[in-house]
């Protein structure tokens, strides 16, 4: 990894917002999922949450590899997803036109926030709406009553970014250093990262120049085959 790439990744990680996220409920069109994840990366969202009923599941996880810099957590149900988010003290907003809905720009996004977007045609489910803390709407004065889900996500997320920038929330690192080290290795040394996974070898630390700071034993393990490593591990366990 070059020093320039190292610094670029470091700069990105320094602005990641760990308490701002998106939850996609049954958003199943690959181009929409990819577009939302791409916007999340641009905004500095570190993790996206998804929920898919069986009929909406993407074939082969299509679009999940579209952004290697954004982590994706899938949940079995919308109840599981919202419970997970609220355990992190997040306010859960849902895009839904209702009597209690407020203009999305009136929300305080400097608070820990999760924004829930529903399926392309039908929107969020009744369960999701009931579980959310607040309905939000994007004001429109034309004939249409809704925007494409990826466009709606971009509008709301950029409002969140605007508020957070004004509050100075992009001026300090939110991600733990352990997570930064993991991403630096995966993003800077993709071939070695694949070898580590194949062989079950822990990731090495990355120094301030973007170089691997591993001892000789780590390099020796990297040269062994997975079969040889398994044999060594079995022998040590037997002892």
Q: Is 95 annotated as a binding residue?
A: yes
Looking at the structure, tell me whether residues 44 and 149 fall in a common domain: yes
pTM: 0.83
- Evaluated on CA atoms 17, 19, 22, 23, the torsion sign reads positive
Contact 233, 207 (CB under 8 A): no
pLDDT at position 14 is 94
Looking at the structure, tell me whether residues 197 and 129 fall in a common domain: no
Contact 199, 229 (CB under 8 A): yes
> Token pair for residue 159?
């409002």
Looking at the structure, tell me whether residues 127 and 182 fall in a common domain: no
93 within domain boundaries: yes
Of 136, 166, 196, which residue sits at a domain end?
Answer: 166
Of 122, 147, 166, which residue sits at a domain end?
Answer: 166
Looking at the structure, tell me whether residues 140 and 209 fall in a common domain: no
144: domain range? 17-166
We report the CATH number of the domain holding residue 132 as 3.40.1280.10
Please report, in tens digits, the pLDDT of each residue of the chain (239 residues total): 888 999 999 999 999 999 999 999 988 788 888 889 999 999 999 999 999 876 555 544 444 544 578 988 899 999 999 999 999 999 999 998 888 989 999 999 999 999 999 888 788 889 999 999 999 988 887 867 778 889 999 999 999 999 999 999 999 999 999 999 999 999 889 899 998 988 888 999 999 999 999 999 889 888 877 666 565 555 444 44
Of 111, 134, 166, which residue sits at a domain end?
Answer: 166
Q: Is 43 annotated as a binding residue?
A: no
pLDDT at position 54 is 61
In this structure, the strands spanning 47-51 and 71-75 are: parallel
Looking at the structure, tell me whether residues 162 and 182 fall in a common domain: no
pLDDT at position 231 is 58
- CA 117, CA 27: separation in Å to the nearest integer? 8
**Number of neighbouring beta carbons within 10 Å of residue 198:** 11
172 within domain boundaries: no
171 within domain boundaries: no
> Token pair for residue 16?
């990641």
CA angle 201/203/205 to nearest 5° reads 140
Contacts of 109 (CB under 8 A, 6+ apart): 20, 159, 160, 163, 164
67 within domain boundaries: yes
- CA 22, CA 238: separation in Å to the nearest integer? 47
Contact 71, 180 (CB under 8 A): no
pLDDT at position 236 is 47
Looking at the structure, tell me whether residues 68 and 24 fall in a common domain: yes
Query: How many residues comprise the chain?
Result: 239
Looking at the structure, tell me whether residues 91 and 146 fall in a common domain: yes
Q: What is the DSSP string of 80-128?
A: HHHHHHHHTT-EEEEE--STT-EEGGGS-TTS-EEEEE-BTTTBS-HHH
Contacts of 69 (CB under 8 A, 6+ apart): 12, 41, 183, 187
Angle between the N-to-C axes of helices 226-238 and 190-199, in degrees from 0 to 180, rounded to the nearest 10: 40
Looking at the structure, tell me whether residues 153 and 64 fall in a common domain: yes
5 within domain boundaries: no
200 within domain boundaries: yes
Contacts of 67 (CB under 8 A, 6+ apart): 34, 37, 38, 40, 41
Looking at the structure, tell me whether residues 152 and 37 fall in a common domain: yes
pLDDT at position 232 is 53
Contact 51, 74 (CB under 8 A): yes
pLDDT at position 177 is 94
Q: Is 113 annotated as a binding residue?
A: no
Looking at the structure, tell me whether residues 118 and 43 fall in a common domain: yes
Looking at the structure, tell me whether residues 157 and 194 fall in a common domain: no
**In 3-state terms, what secondary structure has residue 203?**
coil
Domain count, the chain: 2
pLDDT at position 237 is 47
């Amino acid at each position: 990894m070059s020093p320039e790439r190292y610094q670029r990744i470091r700069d990105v990680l320094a602005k990641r917002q760990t308490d701002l996220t998106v939850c996609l409920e049954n958003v199943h069109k690959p181009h929409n999922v990819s577009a939302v994840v791409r916007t999340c990366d641009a905004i500095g969202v570190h993790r996206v949450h998804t929920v898919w009923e069986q009929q909406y599941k993407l074939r082969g996880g299509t679009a999940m590899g579209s952004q290697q810099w954004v982590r994706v957590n899938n949940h079995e149900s919308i109840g599981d997803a919202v419970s997970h988010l609220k355990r992190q003290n997040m306010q859960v907003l849902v895009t839904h036109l209702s009597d209690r809905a407020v203009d999305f720009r009136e929300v305080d996004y400097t608070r820990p926030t999760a924004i829930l977007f529903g399926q392309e045609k039908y929107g969020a489910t009744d369960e999701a709406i009931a579980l959310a803390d607040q309905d939000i709407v994007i004001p429109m004065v034309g004939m249409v009553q809704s925007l494409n889900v990826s466009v709606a996500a971009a509008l709301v997320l950029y409002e969140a970014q605007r508020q957070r920038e004004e509050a100075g929330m992009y001026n300090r690192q939110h991600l733990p250093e352990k997570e930064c080290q993991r991403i630096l290795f995966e993003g800077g040394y993709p071939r070695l990262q694949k070898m580590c996974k194949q062989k079950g070898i822990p990731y090495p630390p990355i120094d301030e120049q973007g170089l691997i700071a591993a001892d000789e034993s780590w390099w020796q393990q990297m040269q062994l085959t997975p079969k040889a490593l398994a044999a060594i591990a079995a022998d040590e366990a037997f002892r």
